[in-house]
A and B are shown apart, each in its own frame.
Chain A
Amino acid sequence: MSSLQQTLTLAWRSLLQLRRNPWELMDFSIQPILFLLLFLYVFGGAVAGSTAAYLDFILPGVIVMNLVFVTVYVGHGLNTDLTRGVFDRFRALPIARWSPLAGRILADMVKQAWCVLLLLVVGFLLGFRLGAPVSGVLVMLALLLVFAFAMSWIMVLVGVVARDPEHVQLFGFTALFPVTFLSNVFVPLDTLPPFIRAVVAANPVSLLAEASRGLLSGGPVLEPALWSLVWAGVITLVFAPLSLWALNRRLARS
């Protein structure tokens, strides 16, 4: 069996966990839908004048916000494997050293794609219509997955460092809340006070949301998309080596 097949098998295993544990599937299926509905109907009138007008704005925003939160599952799953000894079982098998980690990240990409498509479908049911070519959806998906991949490396680090899976979740969500809320996900940039505007404008979450809006409804795409990719590149370059170093260190000391 090639190392690619091993990775696919391990990704299949991560997804199989979902089938056996429907509530986890609900966790990241129902939650984003709830977020979308709540924000849409609570803030819609105040922020955009009507829910219909707000939908164009908030749908890409919630998609990005959810994307960022779902990356926590990479760290959670990895930590579970590490603390429960499953990772050791894999390491004692004659398979490629990197395939358990790669399998986990790959499975996460599938979950991410599922969430994006699910939110799009719910958006359509709520009345959302594309204002740009359909190919934009695919470009958006690719862009989002690239960013999710980069974020995975941060979560691998969290998963390696944390004592148990609960701490991964606690730390992950605590760190990600300010990152997602200090963005243009919920409100347009120009409604914010100037002193945080610079931070919000440079936040990769804002950049991704802006690019996604452009790709779905029309508007600027190239610049925010390129900056998102720069962010993804920098995050990967910093965190991939750091995470692998931390993982090897943890394994050498256990």
Chain B
Amino acid sequence: MDEAIRAEGLVKQFGATRALDGIDLSVPRGTVLGLLGPNGAGKTTAVRILATLLAPDAGQAWVDGCDVASEAAAVRSRIGLTGQYASVDEKLTGRENLILIARLLGFSRRDARARAGELLVEFGLEDAAHRPVQTYSGGMRRRLDLAASLVGRPRILFLDEPTTGLDPRARLDLWNLIRELVAQGTTVLLTTQYLEEADSLADEIVVIDQGRVIASGTSDQLKARIGGQTLVLAPEHESDVATALSIVTEIVGREPEVDGARLRVPVSDPALVPAVVRRLDESGIVARELTLRGASLDDVFLTLTGRHASVETPAGDAEAAP
């Protein structure tokens, strides 16, 4: 059996909200699965079920071959979990937090100290090791949280939005740490709202929305479907929108979405842009805005569901994507 994580038909209802509506997942050993979805898609619920913190209403799941419902203790001894919000003891120092976890995992006093020291160095927290966590920055907290999940050297790791709320620098640091773990053979299930994050870390991406899987595949497969990048075009004069629309449709081979005077379309080949520019020029259309940017979760959503990811989320969440 070379599946590290498997889920079949997971359903979870919270009152009137169907957080999960039949989710299937399969993560081969040693790979990274990116669970991509907007706020409220059901990512955290899925992770909590897989990490034995929550019982599903229906469906089954196995982690390393152990049933999360009937063999919860076995599952717990095989996983590491970094929740959406850093769950370390604010009042203890970084070192004490790690020693505590190590002791609970059965390390001797001396081994616990050694393991904590090792992780503090690995995660660049040595200098802050003796300070209470409440003095840490967001990025340091996240790193400590991740370190705390790794004390027992789990072979399977759940990371729930590990970089949400981090500045770009801290995000890159964390990405590198995750890559190192993967290089050592750890299986990772990672949730994120950022396509870019799933793209750069995950072998396979599963897009979920309202508790359902709406697409899955490798990053390349997904991009082939949605276009790796998005062309944004706003003609100077509103009267030119219709002409610009037909030009872009013809060249890109896909009808752009019109948002006021702005056109937006996924493109898989950036080389099409000069052609668009030339045709606009020939038609005497002046562009107020003409840009090519990496696809965001919102673009994925627009293509897959025909609506914006941000419709379902508090304003700004989808826009916050890098």
Residues of chain A having any CB pair with chain B under 8 Å: 1, 6, 9-10, 13, 16-17, 20-21, 84-86, 88-95, 251-254
B93's nearest neighbour on chain A, judged by CB, is A20
Pair A252/B73 contact, Cβ less than 8 Å: no
Instruction: Indicate whether B91 reaches chain A with its CB closer than 8 angstroms.
Output: yes
Q: A93-B76, A253-B14 are known contacts. Are A88 and B87 too (CB-CB below 8 A)?
A: yes
Asked if A86 and B89 make an inter-chain contact with CB atoms under 8 angstroms apart, the answer reads: yes
Interface SS, B side:
loop
- Chain A hits for B90, CB < 8 A: 84
Cα A89 to Cα B79 with chains together (Å): 11
B105 at the interface (CB under 8 A from A): yes
Q: Choose one: B87, B92, B106; the contact of A13 (CB below 8 Å).
A: B92
User: Is B83's CB under 8 angstroms from A16's CB?
Assistant: no
A93 to B77, CA, bound (A): 7
Q: Is the CB of A93 within 8 A of B104?
A: yes
A210 to B88, CA, bound (A): 43
Contacts of B103 in A (CB 8 A): 1, 9
For the complex, give the distance between the alpha carbons of A21 and B133 in Å: 12
Roughly how many angstroms separate A89 CA and B231 CA in the complex, as a whole number? Answer: 43
Interface size of B as a range: 20 to 34
Interface set of B (CB-CB < 8 Å, partner A): 14, 51-55, 73, 76-77, 79, 81, 83, 85-93, 96, 100-101, 103-106, 132, 148
User: Complex Cα distance A217/B96, Å?
Assistant: 44
Contacting pair A92 B105 (CB below 8 A): no
Which residue among B51, B77, B79, B90 has the maximum number of chain A CB atoms within 10 Å of its CB?
B90
Give the shortest distance, in Å, between B122 (CB) and chain A (any CB): 19
CA distance A85 to B93 in the complex (A): 17
Interface centre among B55, B96, B104 (most CB of A within 10 A): B104
In the complex, the answer to whether A13 meets B89 with C-beta atoms within 8 Å is yes
Q: A96: nearest residue on chain B (CB-CB)?
A: B73
Whole-angstrom distance between the alpha carbons of A87 and B8 in the complex? 27
Residues in B whose Cβ lies below 8 Å from that of A89? 81, 83, 87-88, 101, 148
Known: A17-B92, A92-B52, A93-B105. A85 touches B76 (CB 8 A): no
16 A-B residue pairs with Cβ-Cβ distance under 8 Å, sorted by A, are: A9-B100, A13-B89, A13-B92, A17-B89, A84-B85, A84-B90, A85-B87, A86-B89, A88-B81, A89-B87, A89-B101, A91-B53, A92-B81, A95-B104, A253-B14, A254-B54
CA separation between A94 and B93, bound complex, in Å?
A: 23
Contact present for A94 and B105 (CB under 8 Å): yes
Known: A1-B103, A20-B132. A94 touches B92 (CB 8 A): no
**B1, chain A: closest CB distance, angstroms:** 21
Residue of B nearest to A95 (CB): B104
Shortest CB-to-CB span from B104 to chain A, Å, is 5
In the complex formed, the residue of A with least CB distance to B96 is: A16
Q: CB-CB < 8 A to A254: which residues of B? A: 54
Give min CB distance, B84 to chain A, whole Å. Answer: 8
Whether B51 pairs with A1 at a CB distance below 8 angstroms is: no
- Our pick among B54, B85, B91 for the contact of A85 (Cβ within 8 Å) is B85
User: What residues of chain B lie closer than 8 Å to A84, measured between beta carbons?
Assistant: 85, 87, 90
Min Cβ gap B51→A in Å is 5
Query: CB-nearest residue of chain A relative to B87?
Result: A85
- How far apart are the CA atoms of A211 and B67 in the complex, in Å? 54
Given the known A-B contacts A1-B103, A9-B103, A84-B90, are A94 and B83 also in contact in the complex, defined by CB atoms under 8 Å? no
Q: What distance in Å separates the Cβ of B85 from its nearest Cβ neighbour in chain A?
A: 5
Residues of A within 8 A of B53 (CB): 88, 91-92, 251
Q: A9-B103, A85-B87, A252-B54 are in contact. List 7 more A-B contacts (CB 8 A).
A: A1-B106, A9-B100, A17-B92, A88-B53, A88-B81, A92-B79, A253-B14
* Residues of chain A contacted by B54 (CB below 8 angstroms): 252, 254
Contact of A17 among B76, B88, B91, B104 (CB under 8 A): B91
